[in-house]
A = this chain, B = another copy of it.
Amino acid sequence: MSLGAEILQGDRRALARALTLVESDPHAADDIIAEVYPHTGHGVVVGITGAPGVGKSTLVDRLAGQFLARGRKVGILAVDPSSPFTGGALLGDRVRMEGRGSDVFMRSLATRGHLGGLARATPRAIQLLQAFGKDLILLETVGAGQSEVDVMGFADTTIIVVVPGLGDDVQAFKAGILEIGDIFVVNKSDRPGADQTMRELRQMLHLGPQRAWMPPVLAAQAQQDVGVSEIADAILRHSEVRLTDPEQQQRRMQEAERLVRDALAEQLVRRVVNQSQAKGRWHEVLTEVAERRLDPAGAAKALHLDQE
């Protein structure tokens, strides 16, 4: 039986093998993806992001517990951009969920050194988990750079987690946060300043553009399982509103365009490079570019015109 068929039948080891393929090379699993693709796209993908130390991992654990109790099939993808400043932090996560047995499938994704690799691996990993039968996927990022914003682009619902006492930071992250957050969580809300942080966030959101969905600001103490049920409710409410959102169809088309453009780039570049290597031209052209005798765009043009 093919790996794709095994995943569709719910074989965990087949899923793990396919995820490893995707992680090592986003295109290595193209055949598997092609096979399972009709069985993807359902359910909800929830992105959870925020600065290090705000308690994202704990919140993800508690949310997984909430949704399991509600009969949902939960998958967790912890996306680790392997930043030098956060690397290694996921080892603990990997074992974290084991106590839950086979009810939750948890996986870390890291593609160190692949430029843009995570942005390509993440949608494929989501598709594999959906084909496996998961209808609620929690997408957790480590860190808070552009990679994370890119990764959140694959989520249907994005949760921004903060802690009390951000002070000036609230102003600092004002710029981009309103656009990507669907739900805001002030975690560790027993700490001093929680009320003020919630008030400031709400004020910022009211200054932003009016939207059909007004992002709620919720208090939580994930460690004590306080406020988590309300977050789960908000996620489900948001996914209902989303279904009637006229922009939803447009979003799906944009996602499709991104995936098709990426696949085109991979296939077309591979072909030109292979042919040019076969002719012994590739190394020669790169040398000319390295020595500044030819510019990169000119080199690219010469390589593909050569083959027509």
Interface residues in chain A, defined as those with a beta carbon under 8 Å from any beta carbon in chain B:
27, 30, 33-34, 37-41, 51, 81-89, 112, 115-116, 118-119, 143-150, 153, 160, 169, 171-177, 179-181, 249, 252-253, 255-269, 272-273, 285-287, 289-290, 292-301, 303-304
- Give CA–CA (A203, B88) in the complex, Å: 18
Partner of A38, one of B116, B175, B293: B293
20 examples of A-B residue contacts, CB within 8 angstroms: A27-B297, A33-B296, A38-B292, A51-B85, A81-B149, A83-B144, A85-B173, A85-B176, A86-B144, A86-B173, A87-B172, A88-B174, A116-B119, A146-B147, A256-B296, A260-B303, A263-B301, A264-B269, A267-B297, A268-B272
Set of chain B residues within 8 Å of A112, measured between Cβ atoms = 176
> Which of A174, A252, A269, A297 has the most chain B CB atoms inside 10 A of its CB?
A297
Set of chain B residues within 8 Å of A39, measured between Cβ atoms = 292
Interface of A, helix, strand, loop or mixed by DSSP: helix
Partner of A84, one of B84, B176, B286, B289: B176
Set of chain B residues within 8 Å of A160, measured between Cβ atoms = 84
